[in-house]
Structure 1
């Protein structure tokens, strides 16, 4: 991925002007659609499962199918934007994402919905790396920080209201609107994006590692299938073993490809830094835990506790509010004391919150059974998310920030993908039927998920030494809505920044 200077091919935008406000609206609308998709769909899972006849494995694939292609193609999406033009790739991604959302909304069967979700992930892989990069490339230098700050704040607001919107849509017009709600936002994004000057990276390598992305899909898809089917079919089932073998061979091919490709998706130099490797292990574990939590809690509240979709969607509101009000302060604290204490304490708080949330059963009450866990979970998120993002940026040289943050984004998505694929099945959730058995499996799954967070704390405590926080961390806000790190405001996939 290139690291050159952004070169817009038109007049730079002024934030206070009409064109500047329209441009900001385009980027925010695209970001909001992604944010909403990450929260609204989880709330809709029980309802769509009832209508389409999906079991737990089917619901897992509604989530993992999207993450599969997003994780595999997001680095390629950033490279395409650098070379072909960020506005062009942004528009293609928005249209693609919108058409896939429409197909999700009208899907008559579960297989059609799963295909649509896979296509939706491809669109998001084009849209995500360019939505914020357009702001950084399109606005004059004096307005960029304010534009990025507005983008982050409004995007975080979309993530905050997402569960509420999802619950209202599911209880009202129906679960299909959890996907169709994206369409007006994306229409605004496409139309308004015309005011952006086109921008490219003059140093971008014209060679794209399409083969690398294809091998990533070929590794992750059969691995995900094997992990979801193994508990039910048996780990020695010939098809499960065959899928695992294909995944291993494809993963080996991916590694070889990255070593030999002229323009690899993952340059070896980014993993030459020990701190960067450790931070990506922490990212993988934590975002795996977050993926399972966001998947299971709203399902458990609706299926076992009998809550409405709206009630389930707003159950974790304390965590979202804490993220919105505390992320910037957490980033500033890490800049003063270093990130290591927060990268140990934060995951432990998340683990404690998950253990408390495991108490949700058929008689669950919000005040006693949900709120305490939600608060601890939210405090954990506030404690670790911003320092983790800033530490990733600070663990590599300035010239590698864009590439490193893109890799970290892909690692986060992959962590969520594999954790959602494996934890429910290992806990027995995929093969249970009665309410009591479902609740028992849910408890086991949440404890396993808490174990992922504890493992992240241990890795941070043992593996991190003098990791520094990126200089821009004082401006970083990293909203968590079930989707991981947001794009680098300077160029391609990375962490969102704003205060």
Structure 2
């Protein structure tokens, strides 16, 4: 049965509401929040899950690793599907199937079933990210996109923090499966509300989907992420890690060759000639390296340098990061039309750089309150980067390519995060030295500074003054 049973006429009546675009924004924010809130508490629950399913923590770590790879691979592909066949349709089907897999995840009978359900749900659920972004940017004028994306980014960042506050209690009281059963309820409500409200978007039924491009891109990203993610644990000489490192560049070359020859490419290579597309992606890659790399190291830092061993206390301290991200994204959306996307990305990246360096100094000084406050400030800086980066990429392409463009940005962010995590964890090793943590945060500060330097080359996209400039700004 199609998830679009209502007549188009009823949707038209909704679209006549004066604040219709804000209603669409609120609905998509609610949908994304319901899918992202379990992320943090699920990470903290992995030891409990391993014990319940009678497996090793190494095996259950794939509950996080495999979905990360699936989302990175699936997001640009799903974005292209939306560009071709309609983002509303993709959002509804993706959300419906992902909700079903959420319930099945809660019913998993062993670790293999758990990883499989999480991975399939994440791959299919990846459709909702570029689809929701494309729908938002369809109903909002270019001059308002950054403001809308600021709210959207703020909610997606804050929902995992809310999950820690409420999810941890539910896991302690009723078990880890409760996470997924609770998640399914708001997901279903958001899905039912989306059916009559979300607008249709343009479709290209005459254009064929680039299967060869999708397969080669999927192999390139999967090989790279698997090698980066598993290398530190399995060893860089492990056959699967070596295979991933070998397959990835070959598949990427094949992908480029396919995209040059096909009439309807999955990813138009001409995007790479646009500064408005390339620079926000580079800033995002470097920003995610610094942000996510130190976020994963932070629990070890709190335990080894400050003696905090309780999961609840560590989680409470780390909430400062996503709360800061939420504040930064929200504020960037409000001031972007006045200051310009380039200025905000530079200031955001520099803020994160200074905060990370100061965090390292606070670790050496044994100043826990300073560390927590600076985690918040670093989150503000990364949140400020996010909003103009997405708006810049969106404004650098035609509306017909919004899905694949924003999906590609999501993929680059995942690759940057995986790279940063691997680098920081490798540098840390088994060390309990505060000096080692200082060095790690100083390295992350340098990477954030490189992100700020890269942002200088942006044409200032995402502003009302320069809407459309990205398509004209070439190297």
TM-score tier, shorter chain, comes to: 0.7 to 0.9
Instruction: Output the CA distance in 2 between the equivalents of 1:303 and 1:102.
Output: 37
Instruction: Output the CA distance in 2 between the equivalents of 1:139 and 1:340.
Output: 21
- Greater mean alpha carbon deviation, residues 275-284 or residues 15-24: 15-24
1:187 Cα shift? Answer: 1.3
Work out whether 1:265 is the aligned partner of 2:261: no
1:36 Cα shift? Answer: 1.1
Residue equivalent to 2:461:
469
> Map of 1:50-449 to 2, 5 A cutoff?
51-52=52-53, 58=59, 61-131=62-132, 133-134=134-135, 158-196=159-197, 199-203=200-204, 206-298=207-299, 301=302, 305-331=307-333, 333-354=335-356, 367-368=369-370, 370-395=371-396, 403-420=404-421, 422-423=422-423, 426-427=426-427, 429=429, 432=430, 437=431, 439-440=432-433, 444=436, 447-448=439-440
1:407 Cα shift? Answer: 2.2
Instruction: Output the CA distance in 1 between the equivalents of 2:465 and 2:280.
Output: 16
- Greater mean alpha carbon deviation, residues 18-27 or residues 451-460: 18-27
1:183 Cα shift? Answer: 0.6
Instruction: Output the CA distance in 2 between the equivalents of 1:115 and 1:331.
Output: 37
Q: CA 1:390 to 1:154, structure 2 compared with 1: closer, same or farther past 3 Å?
A: closer
Instruction: Output the CA distance in 1 between the equivalents of 2:66 and 2:449.
Output: 29
Contact 2:25 2:152 in 1 (8 A): yes
Instruction: Output the CA distance in 2 between the equivalents of 1:14 and 1:396.
Output: 25
- Greater mean alpha carbon deviation, residues 9-18 or residues 380-389: 9-18
Alignment coverage as a number of residue pairs: 457
Q: CA 1:372 to 1:132, structure 2 compared with 1: closer, same or farther past 3 Å?
A: closer
Q: What do the CA deviations read for 1:398-421 (whole angstroms, capped 9, x no partner)? A: 77665533322221122223433x
1:333 Cα shift? Answer: 4.7
Q: What do the CA deviations read for 1:351-393 (whole angstroms, capped 9, x no partner)? A: 44445656899xx88535x423323313423443333334434
Instruction: Give the root-mean-square deviation of aligned CA atoms.
Output: 4.4
1:281 Cα shift? Answer: 1.7
- TM-score, normalised to structure 1's length? 0.74
Instruction: Output the CA distance in 1 between the equivalents of 2:141 and 2:280.
Output: 33
- Helix, strand or coil at the partner of 1:471: coil
1:188 Cα shift? Answer: 0.9
Q: CA 1:243 to 1:379, structure 2 compared with 1: closer, same or farther past 3 Å?
A: closer
Instruction: Output the CA distance in 2 between the equivalents of 1:374 and 1:419.
Output: 17
Contact 2:105 2:114 in 1 (8 A): yes
Contact 1:391 1:469 in 2 (8 A): yes
1:121 Cα shift? Answer: 1.9
Residue equivalent to 2:470:
none
- Helix, strand or coil at the partner of 1:271: helix
1:76 Cα shift? Answer: 2.3
Contact 1:219 1:248 in 2 (8 A): yes
Instruction: Output the CA distance in 1 between the equivalents of 2:377 and 2:75.
Output: 31
1:70 Cα shift? Answer: 1.4
Q: CA 1:444 to 1:260, structure 2 compared with 1: closer, same or farther past 3 Å?
A: farther
Instruction: Output the CA distance in 2 between the equivalents of 1:230 and 1:28.
Output: 35
Structure 2: state its 5+ residue gaps. Answer: 1-7, 468-475
- Greater mean alpha carbon deviation, residues 313-322 or residues 72-81: 313-322
Instruction: Output the CA distance in 2 between the equivalents of 1:91 and 1:151.
Output: 18
Residue equivalent to 1:454:
446
Instruction: Output the CA distance in 2 between the equivalents of 1:466 and 1:140.
Output: 21
Residue equivalent to 1:481:
none
Instruction: Output the CA distance in 2 between the equivalents of 1:145 and 1:229.
Output: 36
Contact 2:99 2:187 in 1 (8 A): yes
Q: CA 1:417 to 1:49, structure 2 compared with 1: closer, same or farther past 3 Å?
A: farther
1:23 Cα shift? Answer: 6.8
